[in-house]
Amino acid sequence: MSRAAAALAAVVVLALTLVPSSVVAGGDPATELLGEATATATFGESIRVQQEVRLSFAPVRAEAVVRAHGSNRTFLAEIPPPGQGESTLSYVYPTPSGSLYPNTRVELGFRLTFADGRIVDTPTTTIRYEDDRVEWRTLEGPLVRVHWAEGDEGFGRRALDIGERAVEQATALLGVEETQPIDFFVYADRDAFFDVLGPAIQENVGGVALAEIRTMFANIEPSQVNDPWVGIVIPHELTHLVFDTATRNPYHEPPHWLNEGLADYLAQGYNAGARGNVENAARSGAIMPLRALVGRFPTTPDRFSLAYDESVSAIDFLIRTYGQDALVGLISSYADGVSDDLAFEDALGVNVGGFEAAWLADLGIAEPPAYGPRPAPPGPLPPGWAAAVQPTPRPGSSSPPLASPRPADTGGDLAEPVLIGLIAIVVAVLAVGLFVVARGLNRGDPLFGPSALSEDDAPDGRDAADEPDFPPGAEEPNPDDTR
């Protein structure tokens, strides 16, 4: 063999050794991956992940690992452990309506646990979960990407222009910079839109923004392209994404009314309709305090609408009273993870309760009546028992638990029932003693007689002490069965 041929052969051998046919999983030489993991998704149904492996030892436990990007939780699902040798790890992650939003990247893999305690994680694969029922068209701006299926390019262009202006306005106000793209999916079909959001969403919702995946969904028909409502819903939802950028922290979320109020204020201001709704609620005593709007809003249509109107009313009052810079400072302070009271005190000089009281006073009302569970009226007591005196609870507050009824303390009257009880106990003890002695004498024993049941008398040759205490005919319990 010539030197050139020998050199070529050496290079080929070296190249083959550098290209492995399998990969060691998690640095464990007993677990080889035969190729990469694969994942496929069907919208509204499931995501399937598979991984071919070669195992030197059979694991005692196998689990699928699922992580949705934007979430801080990891989902583990136990699957049948594979045997020794070549196997296929497989898992189907269900995705029914509303359980996983489109445009979410999902990371999937497997975890194997062996008898010696070793835990091996296979490399994960990532798939973008998409609504593949629709053939999307896309227009992309500096920050917003609009995806739509029905309507001409003019429809998509208008949605994109509104979205870009909304993001620009919100970032300029809050002093933040958006660098990651925002995906905006426009559904013309209402049923398809609610398939995405799931059955728990309110029926009057027309748009949703999800900060964790920087995605917005809206239900807009092509015929609505020039509807004023379109110019409201798009800025409203996209403002939520900018608000999240300005306030994101790992400790504490701002009040929901502050988020929704700002989005409404930038989208349409404190308009006459919202103002009239809040003023009517204030006059009728139906106003909700801001502390009732910290989390989710009410679900009934009238209270749901009033919650939004009250939120924008509070933002309008804040700007009129403290100024726009104070609003920006309040929102920005949440990025440090401070409490609500500290955020308000630093920005406005009053805590949350003080701000709420000032807002209510501006509406011409004092503390509104509280709504919620009320204690049930006390029931009747037996004759001779005295009802415990309870403090009168405030409306809506939780009353202290009722004290257990106790007999009235009447001094000497207590001695009589105690004496009667003692006499009854003595009589019972004497009766039992007389019965035992009489039974022993009847059997001829000079003291107590033979045992109550001798071995000869016991059925099946068993001593009475060995008799089971479960019903005849019942299955004898298994001592190892702990169910």
Per-residue pLDDT tens for 92-131? 999 998 889 999 999 999 999 999 999 999 999 999 999 9
The answer to pTM > 0.75 is: no
Q: Which CATH superfamily is domain 23-129 in?
A: Immunoglobulins (2.60.40.10)
Beta carbons of 147 and 185 less than 8 angstroms apart: yes
Distance CA 278, CA 169 (A): 26
Distance CA 347, CA 332 (A): 10
Greatest extent of the chain over all pairs of C-alpha atoms, in Å? 124
Burial of 160 (0-12, 13-18, 19+ CB in 10 A): buried
Beta carbons of 171 and 142 less than 8 angstroms apart: no
The C-alpha angle with vertex 115 and arms to 111 and 116, in degrees rounded to 5, equals 100
Distance CA 147, CA 184 (A): 6
Residue partners of 28: CB distance under 8 A and separation at least 6? 118, 120
Q: Give the model's confidence band at 323: pLDDT under 50 very low, under 70 low, under 90 confident, else very high.
A: very high
Return the pLDDT at 330.
96
Of 81-90, 165-174, 293-302, 340-349, minimum mean pLDDT range: 293-302
Distance CA 322, CA 313 (A): 14
The amino acid occupying position 398 is S
Answer whether CATH 1.10.390.10 is correct for domain 143-362: yes
Beta carbons of 283 and 239 less than 8 angstroms apart: no
Q: Which of 217, 145, 158, 231 is nearest to 188 (CA)?
A: 217
**Six-digit token pair at 300?**
């009934």
Burial of 110 (0-12, 13-18, 19+ CB in 10 A): buried
Beta carbons of 108 and 125 less than 8 angstroms apart: yes
Cβ atoms within 10 Å of 459's Cβ, excluding its own: 8
As a whole number of Å, the CA-based R_g of the chain is 37
Distance CA 315, CA 261 (A): 6
Beta carbons of 79 and 111 less than 8 angstroms apart: no
Give me the DSSP letters along 198-224.
-TTS-TT--EEEEGGGTEEEEE--GGG
The amino acid occupying position 400 is P
Percent of the chain topping pLDDT 90: 57
pLDDT surpassing 60 at residue 336: yes
User: How confident is the model over 141-198, as pLDDT tens digits?
Assistant: 999 999 999 999 999 999 999 999 999 999 999 999 999 999 999 999 999 999 998 8
Return the pLDDT at 466.
35
Within 13 Å, how many C-alpha atoms sit on residue 120's CB side? 27
Distance CA 411, CA 230 (A): 79
Return the pLDDT at 89.
95
Same fold, 23-129 and 143-362: no
Residue partners of 212: CB distance under 8 A and separation at least 6? 69, 70, 71
Q: Which residue has the tokens 């149904």?
A: 45
What are the beta bridge partners of residue 291? none
Q: Give the model's confidence band at 48: pLDDT under 50 very low, under 70 low, under 90 confident, else very high.
A: very high
- Mean pLDDT for the chain? 80
Return the pLDDT at 65.
96
Give me the DSSP letters along 106-129.
EEEEEEEE-TTS-EEEPPPEEEEE
Distance CA 449, CA 447 (A): 6
Return the pLDDT at 433.
59
Q: Where are the domains of the chain?
A: 23-129, 143-362
Burial of 403 (0-12, 13-18, 19+ CB in 10 A): exposed
